[in-house]
């Protein structure tokens, strides 16, 4: 992606997508993260790797749970897991087979089991003697964070506006203002950029939203365009007379949710991050506690990148952190500013190392990640929405001071 962004010499198009909370993969992400949240309320030090699968009339949860607090009642926990999974489906709007799933009455299976002791000893610092007592990374791998000055949230415009369209649809569906909307939905925004990577205009918009079978095609197209798309995108000034609109381009989207397509945790990683504008590491986020650097280090990398751009040290920034399982510090830190830096990149790198604690324990402490905040992350993107600790820009002054 670095080469793509720095070698453009003319206008180009870039497209990103989003999916709604009722997309079958997002249903699974939210169930996995709701179970994680419950684990953290029982034991803030719980180790969780929870996966969910859904299809017609069926939800399955599996994976590994390790409570450090041995007083947790596992029988009561397993009973609550089923209530949580069904409750998430019902909250989304999956309350009958006609809409894609009946959360109250579908078949449910629980295949959660205890965490591997081999993994646990590396995480808690009882594995290799040289790291005794220090929290190690829960896995090896590399994680990326990205920020740019295209939007107020310092997110790439295509994915940011794709999310905003579906958030608007979410509000109108849950409020009952558009009664024929059903839970499943997807959006896509194509933006034309100039040679300096600045958004010029919106070239195309795609919205596919599940609906009941009574609404006419004419009403559906008009309502989605006038009540959902335009209120979000007209204030940007990027719509013009040549913007193309594709609304439910298959012509019909009545069958949706797990009845239309199977769902699985962790299958929408590009939707979850930067829409392809920034790179993504090897792991998904949902269902994983913060000892898994797949998740926590990706949050830290976004936190660092956003503060770099907010401090006006660069217009774009990508941060890579890499870890080895059981090792209590990153094995590498890389920063790419795509030629937009205002000071030497080497100075930014040194400032980042000085200001941010990128050890697994330091990340968890800095971002306060042992709190039950994760279900909210699992739809409409993990980044670019206020309220999450990794979206703060509270290190701007420290970074500015450190580069001088």
Active centre residues (catalytic): 23, 25-26, 51, 64, 186, 253, 261-262, 267-268, 288, 292, 294
What are the helix (H) ranges across 1-70? 2-7, 24-42
In sequence order, the 6+-apart residues with CB closer than 8 A to the CB of 219 are: none
What single DSSP character describes residue 325? B
Beta strand ranges found along 152-256 (DSSP E): 181-193, 199-211, 244-247
Residues 6+ apart with CB under 8 A from 227: 172, 177, 178
Tokens describing residue 385: 């929405």
Q: For residue 18, count CB atoms less than 10 angstroms from its CB and return exposed for 0-12, middle for 13-18, buried for 19 or more.
A: buried
Could you tell me if residue 143 is left (phi over 0), alpha (psi between -120 and 50 degrees) or otherwise beta? beta
Tell me how far CA of residue 283 lies from CA of 188, 266, 267, 311, 312, in angstroms: 23, 8, 10, 29, 30
Angle between helix 360-367 and 293-310 (nearest 10) = 60
């Amino acid at each position: 992606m670095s080469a793509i962004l720095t070698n453009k010499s003319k206008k180009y198009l870039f497209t990103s997508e989003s999916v709604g909370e009722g997309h079958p993969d997002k249903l699974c992400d939210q169930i996995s993260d709701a179970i994680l949240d419950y684990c953290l309320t029982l034991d803030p030090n719980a180790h969780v790797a929870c996966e969910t699968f859904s299809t017609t009339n069926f939800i399955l949860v599996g994976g590994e749970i390790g409570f450090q607090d041995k007083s947790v009642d596992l029988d009561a926990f397993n009973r609550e897991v089923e209530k949580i999974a069904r409750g998430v489906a019902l909250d989304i709007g999956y309350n009958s087979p006609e809409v894609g799933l009946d959360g109250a009455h579908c078949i449910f299976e629980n295949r959660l089991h205890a965490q591997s002791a081999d993994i646990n000893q590396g995480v808690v610092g009882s594995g290799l003697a040289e790291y005794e007592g220090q929290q190690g990374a829960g896995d090896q791998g590399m994680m990326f964070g990205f920020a740019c000055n295209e939007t107020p949230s310092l997110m790439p415009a295509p994915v940011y506006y794709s999310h905003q369209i579906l958030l608007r649809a979410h509000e109108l569906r849950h409020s009952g203002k558009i009664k024929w909307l059903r839970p499943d939905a997807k959006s896509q925004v194509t933006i034309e950029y100039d040679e300096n990577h600045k958004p010029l205009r919106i070239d195309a918009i795609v919205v596919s939203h599940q609906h009941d079978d009574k609404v006419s095609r004419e009403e559906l197209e008009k309502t989605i365009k006038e009540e959902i798309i335009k209120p979000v995108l007209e204030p940007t000034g990027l719509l013009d007379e040549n913007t193309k609109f594709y609304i439910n381009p298959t012509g019909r989207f009545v069958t949706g949710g797990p009845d239309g397509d199977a769902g699985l945790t962790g299958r929408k990683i590009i939707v979850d991050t930067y829409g392809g504008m920034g790179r993504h590491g090897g792991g998904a986020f949902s269902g994983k506690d913060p000892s898994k650097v797949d998740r926590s280090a990706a949050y830290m990398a976004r936190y660092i990148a956003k503060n770099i751009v907010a401090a006006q040290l660069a217009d774009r920034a990508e941060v890579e952190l890499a870890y080895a399982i059981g090792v209590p510090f990153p094995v590498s830190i890389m920063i790419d500013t795509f030629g937009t830096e205002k000071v030497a990149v080497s100075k930014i790198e040194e400032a980042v190392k000085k200001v941010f604690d990128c050890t697994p324990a330091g990340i968890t402490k800095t971002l306060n990640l042992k709190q039950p905040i994760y279900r909210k992350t699992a739809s409409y993107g993990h980044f670019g929405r206020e309220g999450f600790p990794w979206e703060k820009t509270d290190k701007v002054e420290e970074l500015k001071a450190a580069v001088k």
